[in-house]
Amino acid sequence: MRWDLLAEWIIKAIIILVLLLTGFAYQTWLERKVVSKMQYRIGPNRAGPFGLLLPLADGIKLIFKEELIPAMADKVIFVAAPVVSMIVALLVFAVIPIGPSIIVFGREVTLQLADINVGLMYVLAVSSLGIYGIVLGGWASNNKYALLGGLRSSAQLISYELVLGLALMGSVMLTGTLSLNQIVNAQAYDFWNWLVFLQPLGFLLYVIAAIAEVNRAPFDLPEAEQELTAGYHTEYSGMKFALFFMAEYINMINVSAIAVTMFLGGWRPPFGFIPEWTGPIWFFLKVLAFILVFIWLRATLPRLRYDQLMNFGWRTMLPLAIANVVVTAIAMALRPTPGANTWFVVAVGSVILIIAALLFYRSWSSASMRRRAARQAS
């Protein structure tokens, strides 16, 4: 065994853990500050300068908070469920590149824990396991509200995971690889080479599906307070609740990093003349922009009804995701060798699909309102 390689992996894993856990902590601070500005409030400003020590205070509070386990709960699964959610959230980031290779003590080091040629398949496979923690937590609690939250989550994640996978297929088809490093390299030099311009519909579908995947507003049905008390984590407290909370916010970082990698050039700067060593900075700024969008949507949009959530996923988003893959395949068949014509056809086809989707959704909404008015009149 090469001990230098093992040491490199251990150091990288520790750095990723520290970054994700620190990122989670200050996401909560950022969300409170941004939402408070939107609502003309002050936000956290007591614990440390600008409230920067509030995440630490929250962590200490949760560590010393009493942890309760319901008497009739399945205690083993009840304790294991939040751990499963947390572990899965931490595993996803292992294959995401955050910068170019660097030279350390005379050897080349990649800014990525594992560079595998099926990195996207690994991401999709591991992220799909996160549902087990939520469903098992809802079931093991022996609480009807928690069980309903777990069942809602399973139906929601299965529905939108199909859309999420299909939304990414357009980028895979255009680059011809499942390696996240190679997908980033295919978007090199200037920002107009980013795949978001060739796959605008795929990008839009991915963002919507990603919001649903991490149970964020307006898709936070599994933990709807007005209906289910707190949903799948109703019976959780202390550090077990904190693990579910951490998993949700770390998953926000994960889906943002995947969107940046697949559509926005990854760690690459927007212009070719900017040195590549600034890659991690650009990667961080792009991920931060996505997280601000998550916060903005939570502070702006009301929660959907559950029937609206499922109808939107199966009747609107899934057909559009399939159509996007078909348009991309037709464009590549017309010109198998990548070139300007292929990119033009893909981009125009995606824009047409977006317009068609908006028209379809408008007509469908109008028809639904007419049917509802007719039922009320009768």
**Cα 61 vs. chain centroid, distance in angstroms?**
28
| Average pLDDT along the chain | 84
Q: Which range among 27-36, 49-58, 104-113, 359-368 shows the weakest confidence by mean pLDDT?
A: 359-368
Is residue 233 within 8 A of residue 223, CB to CB? The reply is yes
Give the percent of the chain with pLDDT over 90: 26
Q: What is the DSSP string of 55-104?
A: HHHHHHHHHHSPP---TTS-HHHHHHHHHHHHHHHHHGGGG---S--EEE
The answer, yes or no, to whether residue 204 has pLDDT greater than 80, is yes
Q: What pLDDT does 343 receive? A: 63
Higher pLDDT, 362 or 311: 311
At residue 323, does pLDDT exceed 90? Answer: no
Q: How far apart are CA 330 and CA 35, in angstroms?
A: 44
The predicted structure's pLDDT at residue 214: 86
> Are the beta carbons of 234 and 145 closer than 8 angstroms?
yes
pLDDT band, very low/low/confident/very high, at 4 (cuts 50, 70, 90): confident
Percent of the chain whose pLDDT exceeds 70: 87
Q: What does the alpha-carbon distance between residue 345 and residue 349 come to, in Å, rounded to a whole number? A: 6
Region of poorest pLDDT, from 18-32, 139-153, 252-266:
139-153
DSSP string, 225-244: HHHHTTGGGTT--HHHHHHH
User: What's the pLDDT at 232?
Assistant: 77
Asked whether the predicted pLDDT for residue 1 surpasses 60, the reply is: no
167-184 mean pLDDT: 91
Q: What is the pLDDT of residue 230?
A: 66
Mind listing the pLDDT tens digit for each residue in 242-258?
898 898 899 999 999 99
The yes-or-no verdict on residue 349 having pLDDT over 80 is no
Average pLDDT in the 44-50 region?
85
pLDDT at 39 over 70: yes
Mean pLDDT of 41-52: 86
Is it the case that residue 272 has pLDDT exceeding 90?
no
Tell me: pLDDT of 54 over 60: yes
How buried is residue 30: exposed, middle or buried, by Cβ count under 10 Å (0-12/13-18/19+)?
middle
Please give the sequence-ordered ranges of beta strands (E in DSSP) within the chain, or none if there are none: 102-104, 107-109
Are 250 and 89 a contacting pair, CB within 8 Å? yes
Sort 251 into a burial class: Cβ within 10 Å, 0-12 / 13-18 / 19+: buried
Q: What is the mean pLDDT of residues 46-69?
A: 86
Structure tokens at 199: 């796959």
